[in-house]
Amino acid sequence: MYNRLEDLIQHPVFHYFSEISKIPRCSGNEKAISDYLVQFGKERNLEVKQDEALNVIIKKPASPGYENVPPVIIQGHMDMVCEKNKGTIHDFRKDPIQLRVIEEMLYATNTTLGADNGIAVAYALALLDSKEVPHPSLEVVITTEEETTMGGALALNPADFEGKILINLDSEEDHKLLVSSAGGIKATMILPIIWDDAPKNVSAYCIGVRGLKGGHSGISINKGRGNSNKIMGRILEDLSGEFPYFLQQINGGSATNAIPRETDAIILVSRDSIKKLESKIDEWNDILRNELKTSDPEVHICLDSVKHDLSKVFSEETKQKAITSLMLIPNGIQSMSMEMEGLVESSTNLGVITTFETELHFESDSRSSIKSLKDALVKKARLIAETLGCKLFTDSEYPEWPYNPDSKIRKVFEKVFKEKHGTDIEIIAVHAGIECGILIDKIPGLDAISIGPDMYNVHTPNEHLSIPSTINNWEYFLSVLKEMKFFDR
């Protein structure tokens, strides 16, 4: 149907997706895209507000015949996770995303695509621009920093909204209605570094974990994919029992809400230990290829001699605490739901490790659909930190979105789907953070639902978006808005 990008962007949704893909919008760098949205609204003589958090609210009056229908809040986020393949020359601060069509999928080129959640922005802009789509009065809100702190949604002023119906566009599965999501919190454990003088007659080597698929730390946490930070901890712990070595730095991952794909450790070894080191790396390649042969068949450990500062290394105490941290910090599924088959109930992801001048930071993203379990994960992390003489800081906490059995907007979506397809739509919950929970906390009585097209491998450079699903979901969305003329208050 659309074999070329030039043809695809003739569709209004993909036209606007292409436009916003030219604008930098990594989490924390949303000023340009926020200003673009403001200008878009003003050019169409719509009511526009940009708040201090750079959230943008654009209001559009109801179509003729829809004046008495309750207003609807349409919501998504403007920021994206910015990941690229190692060696890719791309500056997310200024370079546009390079889109490409492969069969029926839209990809970027060696970077994340940003369909999460650029597709919501594209849907919203196409809707606001249309003069033909019938709809109730619309309150479109596009938030910032969803992928990092949820700071945009947390900063929203509920007084800016009249609507009590929320359609969130941040789901990633077509033909499904998202009705509940997990809450989350970020925890950072800080290990002070004690530096020692490096011994003489040593060589520097970089151990690198490569070839992992990664993925969204909530949605993909049940796929059994390797975590490069945890793998590095196992390797360094194993080497400690084989020969002496000195640790100089560990760095891995780029976002707490993405399963880390690559981690590097710089170690110094004496010349007579190099053969043993090479042998152990070969062993670990065999171990990991066996363990991850289904989930991550391309995993491999590389070992490279590097030119590096040979003057300082971690003290032995710091080295052992760093390795112990990597081994003990919880990671992966912690519990499964007994109410909804296959749903992860709680999890944690050791997403980022960074070596600074005086500290090592271990950043984890914990999620749960039950607040008490989320709190328990933080308590466990705090106990580990205290045992190792570290500090633990938490931030970016956001609430879970509980299922509402009496949702009226869900019934509208169910009715329209049944009429279009002749079957019942699947009702799902997701182990990921959706801003619905925050808005429900802020706006009493808010009735929420979330939809979206099929996306794959989000938060990775292999992220791709189904073109037919995007169009199908768009048409479904418009059909629901049209049906709302008969919405029962």
Total structural domains in the chain?
A: 2
Say what the pLDDT of residue 53 is. Answer: 98
Nearest alpha-carbon partner for 17 in 85, 134, 96 = 96
> Predicted confidence band at 1 (pLDDT cuts at 50, 70, 90)?
low
Task: Examine the domain organization and report whether 209 and 317 are in the same domain.
Answer: yes
Q: Considering the domain boundaries, does residue 412 fall inside one? A: no
Task: Examine the domain organization and report whether 191 and 253 are in the same domain.
Answer: yes
Q: Give the pair of three-digit tokens for residue 130.
A: 């249309």
Task: Examine the domain organization and report whether 205 and 318 are in the same domain.
Answer: yes
Mean pLDDT of the residues in the chain: 96
The rounded distance, in Å, linking the Cα atoms of 35 and 41 is 10
The rounded distance, in Å, linking the Cα atoms of 370 and 385 is 23
Task: Examine the domain organization and report whether 376 and 234 are in the same domain.
Answer: yes
By CB neighbour count within 10 A (0-12 exposed, 13-18 middle, 19+ buried), where does 380 fall? middle
> Predicted confidence band at 2 (pLDDT cuts at 50, 70, 90)?
confident
The whole domain housing 150 covers 5-171+434-486
Q: Considering the domain boundaries, does residue 439 fall inside one? A: yes
Q: Considering the domain boundaries, does residue 428 fall inside one? A: no
Residue 251: give its domain's CATH number. 3.30.70.360
Per-residue pLDDT tens over the stretch 149-175: 899 999 999 999 999 999 999 999 999
Q: Give the pair of three-digit tokens for residue 343.
A: 């749903």
Mean pLDDT along residues 90-114: 97
> Predicted confidence band at 3 (pLDDT cuts at 50, 70, 90)?
confident
Q: Considering the domain boundaries, does residue 425 fall inside one? A: no
pLDDT exceeds 80 at position 451: yes
**CB contact set of 240 (below 8 Å; sequence gap of 6+):** 320, 323
Nearest alpha-carbon partner for 433 in 188, 81, 189, 140 = 81
The rounded distance, in Å, linking the Cα atoms of 279 and 270 is 15
pLDDT exceeds 70 at position 405: yes
Task: Examine the domain organization and report whether 267 and 299 are in the same domain.
Answer: yes
Cis upstream peptide for 117 (omega within 30°)? yes
Task: Examine the domain organization and report whether 167 and 190 are in the same domain.
Answer: no
CB distance 55 to 146 below 8 Å: no
Task: Examine the domain organization and report whether 441 and 378 are in the same domain.
Answer: no
Q: Catalytic residue numbers?
A: 79, 146
Residue 144: give its domain's CATH number. 3.40.630.10
Per-residue pLDDT tens over the stretch 5-57: 999 999 999 999 999 999 999 999 999 999 999 999 999 999 999 999 999 99
pLDDT exceeds 70 at position 243: yes
Beta bridge partners of 393: 188
Q: Considering the domain boundaries, does residue 420 fall inside one? A: no
Task: Examine the domain organization and report whether 337 and 444 are in the same domain.
Answer: no
Say what the pLDDT of residue 95 is. Answer: 97
Q: Considering the domain boundaries, does residue 48 fall inside one? A: yes
> Predicted confidence band at 364 (pLDDT cuts at 50, 70, 90)?
very high
Among residues 398, 424, 445, the one where a domain terminates is 398
pLDDT exceeds 90 at position 210: yes
Task: Examine the domain organization and report whether 446 and 478 are in the same domain.
Answer: yes
Does the pTM surpass 0.85? The reply is no
Say what the pLDDT of residue 340 is. Answer: 84
CB distance 122 to 16 below 8 Å: yes
Could you give the count of Cα atoms lying within 13 Å of 308 in the half-sphere of its Cβ? Answer: 20
Per-residue pLDDT tens over the stretch 368-400: 999 999 999 999 999 999 999 999 999 989 999
Task: Examine the domain organization and report whether 369 and 470 are in the same domain.
Answer: no
Among residues 354, 376, 398, the one where a domain terminates is 398
Task: Examine the domain organization and report whether 250 and 328 are in the same domain.
Answer: yes
Residue for token digits 């500090």?
391
Say what the pLDDT of residue 277 is. Answer: 97
DSSP-based helix, strand, coil % in the chain, nearest 5: 30, 30, 40
Task: Examine the domain organization and report whether 342 and 250 are in the same domain.
Answer: yes
Say what the pLDDT of residue 489 is. Answer: 62
pLDDT exceeds 90 at position 125: yes
Q: Considering the domain boundaries, does residue 427 fall inside one? A: no
* 209 phi/psi in degrees, rounded to 5: -90, 125
Span between the terminal Cα atoms of the chain, in Å:
40
Among residues 398, 417, 445, the one where a domain terminates is 398
Nearest alpha-carbon partner for 250 in 171, 336, 325, 182 = 325
Could you give the count of Cα atoms lying within 13 Å of 351 in the half-sphere of its Cβ? Answer: 28
Q: Considering the domain boundaries, does residue 177 fall inside one? A: no
The rounded distance, in Å, linking the Cα atoms of 61 and 47 is 9
Using DSSP bridges, classify how beta strands 176-192 and 359-368 pair: parallel, antiparallel or unpaired.
Answer: antiparallel
Per cent of the chain over pLDDT 90 is: 92
Per-residue pLDDT tens over the stretch 35-45: 999 999 999 99
Q: Count the Cβ atoms, other than its own, within 10 Å of residue 192.
A: 12
